[in-house]
Amino acid sequence: DTAVSQTPKYLVTQMGNDKSIKCEQNLGHDTMYWYKQDSKKFLKIMFSYNNKELIINETVPNRFSPKSPDKAHLNLHINSLELGDSAVYFCASSQRFAGGYGYTFGSGTRLTVV
């Protein structure tokens, strides 16, 4: 049973398209995150939700919109995709937001915009 599952694992799409990445965790964690890993492997936080409430919204183009229908799910929708959006997107969860809990990561979604 996968603890944090992301779909799809790979996504190839054309510029200008709209796409979504889905994430689900079955750990009963309160907090979920989206991270972006660029081509140089640098990991940067994009969003965080705690019990369905947005608590972190870093400087991300507003073409990116997260949605959390319940605390087990955090989806990422991207409008008008650009070449620079190509990256690996990781979903993660932690037991709580505060308290230094480690994250459990999904296996990542490699997005390629052509």
Query: By CB under 8 A, which span of 21-29, 34-42, 69-77, 78-86 interacts with another protein?
Result: 34-42
Letters for 64-93 (x = contact with another protein by CB under 8 A, - = none) are ------------------------x-x-x-
Residue 41 binding another protein, by CB under 8 A: yes
Q: Tell me the CB-side half-sphere exposure of residue 92, using CA atoms within 13 A.
A: 22
Q: What CA dihedral angle connects 39, 37, 81 and 51, to 10 degrees? A: 180
Residue 43 binding another protein, by CB under 8 A: yes
Q: What are the percentages of helix, strand and coil residues in the chain, rounded to 5?
A: 5, 55, 40
Task: State in angstroms the smallest separation of the CB of 9 from another protein.
Answer: 9
